[in-house]
Amino acid sequence: MRALAGLYAALHSLIGLVCGLLIGSIALSITIDVVMRNLTLGSLSWAMEVNEYSLYIVTALGAPWALYRGAHVRVDLLVKGVPPAIGRWIEVLCDLIGLAASSALFYYTVAVARASISDNARVIKILIIPEWWVFAVVGAGSLLLIVEFMRRLVLAFREGPHLTAAPPV
């Protein structure tokens, strides 16, 4: 079980690294594009579209990473102000709501992606990509959220409210 937990932590470390690198590449490509335009060297016509997809990936994959790290927006005043047993049930309720929302998102994302594959749909802008690639990112993020909310539910039942971030990897 510890080996699985270690792999899970490593996966989240990788996701955090990828998201950080994508944000850095966005900043770099915008800077390069602005400099090129100001020097009348043309522009990186594809950069804006790639940056849009990068932000999309960072959002979809960064959400489960932030939830795992405890870096998400959280108002735990109520959980800290009630007895631990009640706090545990508040945590469980919140995690169940998150699990239900993530599960619904995953279900509908898979349904739309399957339809996109069967229709052989494409996103046509500067780059031409299969439409299902876009949905696959949300599917992967929502699946990771499902796993994380389930992990949090187990922890809430075993240890009570989780008021601290995940241990550093």
Q: What are phi and psi of 82, to 5 degrees?
A: -115, 165
Q: What is the DSSP letter of 72?
A: S
Q: Over the stretch 117-145, which tens digit does the pLDDT of each residue have?
A: 999 999 999 999 999 999 999 999 999 99
C-beta of residue 116 within 8 angstroms of C-beta of residue 93:
no
Measured between alpha carbons, how far is 164 from 166 in angstroms, rounded to an integer?
7
Domain boundaries of the chain, sorted by first residue:
2-159
Measured between alpha carbons, how far is 90 from 5 in angstroms, rounded to an integer?
25
Instruction: Give the pLDDT of residue 70.
Output: 83
Instruction: Give the pLDDT of residue 75.
Output: 65
Weakest-pLDDT range from 5-9, 104-108, 155-159: 155-159
Q: Over the stretch 36-70, which tens digit does the pLDDT of each residue have?
A: 999 999 999 999 999 999 999 999 999 999 999 98
